[in-house]
Structure formats: structure tokens, C-alpha cells
Chains A and B, each alone.
Chain A
Amino acid sequence: TQLLEQSPQFLSIQEGENLTVYCNSSSVFSSLQWYRQEPGEGPVLLVTVVTGGEVKKLKRLTFQFGDARKDSSLHITAAQPGDTGLYLCAGAGEDYKLSFGAGTTVTVRA
């Protein structure tokens, strides 16, 4: 099992502020996914990054895959209360199974 560490564990910010969540590992991944999970529901895929150095933007969310394919970050610009949730990163290694990080709980206060 490849260990993925997410930081911070908890993040509480005011509406309109920016935030960054990190996902780090000592292992190389063939791809990395970010999911968001709301209370009482299953995770929902936000993005998959595949190439080292890749940057993907989805509206106010920016995802980056490290050059060495060992780490990733999620940046949210001008956060809104609807961004509140648990953000999980998951990496795919040599086999095709995913390893999940423990998650970052983001709370955006109105």
C-alpha cells in the first residue's frame, strides 16, 4: 500500500478567501485523482491528473500534479460555502488499485 499524506487535516476559512490542500507521498503514481465527499454521501470525482507537472482548472479549482508524480495540490480561489466538504486524494500505482489519503475537511463560513 502506498501512503498518501494530506495536509492540513482541517481547514476553516471565510467566504471569499483562497485555500490550498496538499497531497504528498514518497511513491510515484501513474495518475492521481481528487474527490469531494459531502456528509452522508459517497465521494464524487473532481479531476484526474496523469502527466507530471500537469495543471488542470475547473472554474475556481486548480489542480496540480508534481513533476515527479509524487505529490499534488488543490487550490480553491474565492471559496464559497458550497465548497465545504471532505477532499480526498487518491493515487494509482503500478497496479491499478487506488490508495486514498485520509482527507482534508474544508469548512467555508458565510
Chain B
Amino acid sequence: NAGVMQNPRHLVRRRGQEARLRCSPMKGHSHVYWYRQLPEEGLKFMVYLQKENIIDESGMPKERFSAEFPKEGPSILRIQQVVRGDSAAYFCASSPIGSQSYQPQHFGDGTRLSIL
């Protein structure tokens, strides 16, 4: 399967714990995007990364949320001290070249985060 891989598919955390969501882009893709989706709503952009660089984090809350895409390994979205409002589906997408190149983003199947 050469698609975007996300894990875990489901993650349960208690309030105050940390959540780590991983994303491996499609082979040959070096651009990664994270989106968040609440039930019955569309996806909302959080952050756009290239290898070792955050390009745009305008959609990501300043507190408790961080993202990285290291030279080796998957992209990580990290949520510290989770609260109930963080419960959502988090999707990762990748593209082969930049977001302004009229190339579609290809999505993984998401991580469903539930906060107890």
C-alpha cells in the first residue's frame, strides 16, 4: 500500500495526557498537511510541513499543539495536556510538490482521538 499511512487509527487518552499522531506520506511526497475534522463537518487546516521545516502553522492552536516532520521518519502531530475539546478525527495529507502547484493532496484514513 503506497498511500498515506496514519497510526494509530484510534487513540484514547485521559484529560491531561499527551497524544502523538503519526503520518507517513506517500512514497515520493515531501509535503505533509494536517487537518482536523469534527463530526458532520469538513476538514479544517492545521499545519503544513516539508522535511525539517514548518511552512505554515496558521491553523494550529498556539498552546499544547506542535508538529514536526524530521529528516527521517514520519511526521508527528503532538497534543499535550489533552482536553475533551481535542476529540476529533485528525487527517494527514501529502503531495509531491508544493501546495501552490495545482496538485491534489492525498489523504490517509485518519486518527480518531477520544478524550475521556
**A pairs with B:** no
- What residues make up the interface of B, taking CB atoms closer than 8 Å to A? none
